[in-house]
Amino acid sequence: MGIIFALIIFEVIIIIHELGHFIAAKSCGVKVNEFAIGMGPAIIKKKKGDTLYALRLFPIGGYCAMEGEDSDSEDERAFGSKSLPRRILIVCAGVIMNFILGIIILAVNICRSDAIVTTKIASFEEGALSHETGLEVDDEIIRINGMRIFTSMDISYQFQNDEDGKFDMVVLRKGEKKELKDVSFAVDDKTMHIDFLVYPGKLTVGSVLAETFKNAATDGRLIYISLFDMIRGKYSLKDLSGPVGIVDSIDQVIENETDEKTGKIDWQSLLDTMLSLSAFITINIGIFNLLPLPALDGGRLIFLIIEGIRGKPVPAEKEGMVHLIGMAALLVLMVVITVSDIIRLF
């Protein structure tokens, strides 16, 4: 079941991404040679106009192949023949669609909930250490250890990645910002105990929209935090997860939502988690694609920016070679991550 969920999530995200490139290319007058769902041999294919539409055997991706995308072409509808702003739009369109999909999923998931989980403290447990060390009822947490807090997930992230149970916080108290040093929580066997509850927020059009974009910011920021943590040496390649790791995580989610006695799955709760995971993945795939690396949309965008600065494009063959090398490097990285996932499982 984990594999099925993972395939559905990734395939929908990839189709939406490539559909963004497709729509933008068609709108800008670029010839699209093929729009494919899946990889490998074609199961169904149909040519309409200049474009071959194909459903391929393996549901592990898809692509939008444009004329003159990685090579020179004399066709007046080739990608390279279009103006720089149009090509930038086409390159960025897939990422834009990822963000739109993520925002829609987040909004749907928030609307399905009973209330919004705020960052404003409602009450403390008796003898709460965090209360004794500075926090008060009605404090709205806006920073923890320097990180801006958008959602309750940001609070959870900071708490889960702490070692000593002490935090520097900035809270909004009676309309004024107040800095708190060494707000503490009890730690038992390396597990920190959260000793306060937050207020539920009402579901209105305004609150849903605000919470949707806050959650998108939370999800998107995590990829940069993770990259910086890797550069600083906090994480290594073995800590990364690929498709195999994600399948395992989904399996664990399904197991948690399954009643041990009856074997019945809590489908409502599982759907909530799957929607949250899908939004997180599509937003982060969008942001990852913007990284200035060969073979990614961000890498292509860098070449377009260079063209704008120097006044002429980099030869298509040279750019294509850079992207080919980049793709090979990404595939090697994916193999390393997959092997690491399998070793971790067994």
- Which stretches within the chain are classed as H helix? 2-27, 84-112, 129-132, 152-160, 205-231, 243-256, 267-289, 297-310, 316-345
Q: Which of 38-52, 110-124, 136-150, 327-341 has the lowest mean pLDDT?
A: 327-341
Tokens 């007058």 correspond to: 29
Mean pLDDT value across residues 150-160: 92
By the 8 A CB rule, do 341 and 238 touch? no
Cα 209 to Cα 103, 152, 188, 203, 284: the distances in Å are 9, 16, 38, 10, 20
Q: Is the pLDDT of residue 118 over 90?
A: yes
pLDDT score recorded for residue 120? 96
Q: Which helix (H) or strand (E) holds 176?
A: strand 176-184
Cα angle value 340/343/344 (rounded, 5°): 85
> Annotated catalytic, 18?
yes
**Of 104-108, 184-188, 325-329, 338-342, where does the model show the most confidence?**
104-108
Distance CA 62, CA 102 (A): 19
Q: Is the pLDDT of residue 293 over 70?
A: yes
By the 8 A CB rule, do 37 and 290 touch? no
User: By percentage, how much of the chain surpasses pLDDT 90?
Assistant: 54
Q: Which of the following is catalytic: 11, 18, 132, 260?
A: 18
Distance CA 199, CA 281 (A): 28
Burial 215-253 (b: 16+ CB within 10 A, else e): bbebbbbbbeeeeeeeeeeeeeeeebbbbbbbbbebbeb
Q: Is the pLDDT of residue 31 over 70?
A: yes
What are phi and psi for residue 227, nearest 5 degrees? -65, -45
- The 10s digit of each residue's pLDDT in 213-226 is 999 999 988 888 88
Tell me which of 135 and 240 has the higher pLDDT. 135
Sorting pLDDT into bands at 50, 70 and 90, what band is 141? very high
In 3D space, the residue among 248, 215, 278 whose CA is nearest the CA of residue 338 turns out to be 248
Q: Is the pLDDT of residue 314 over 90?
A: no
pLDDT score recorded for residue 237? 67
User: Could you give the domains of the chain?
Assistant: 2-111+266-345 (no CATH), 114-202 (2.30.42.10)
Tokens 């041990």 correspond to: 260
Sequence-distant (≥ 6) Cβ neighbours of residue 206 within 8 angstroms: none
Q: Which of 105-114, 179-188, 337-346 has the lowest mean pLDDT?
A: 337-346
In 3D space, the residue among 31, 24, 35 whose CA is nearest the CA of residue 78 turns out to be 31
pLDDT score recorded for residue 246? 80
Q: What is the DSSP string of 328-343?
A: HHHHHHHHHHHHHHHH
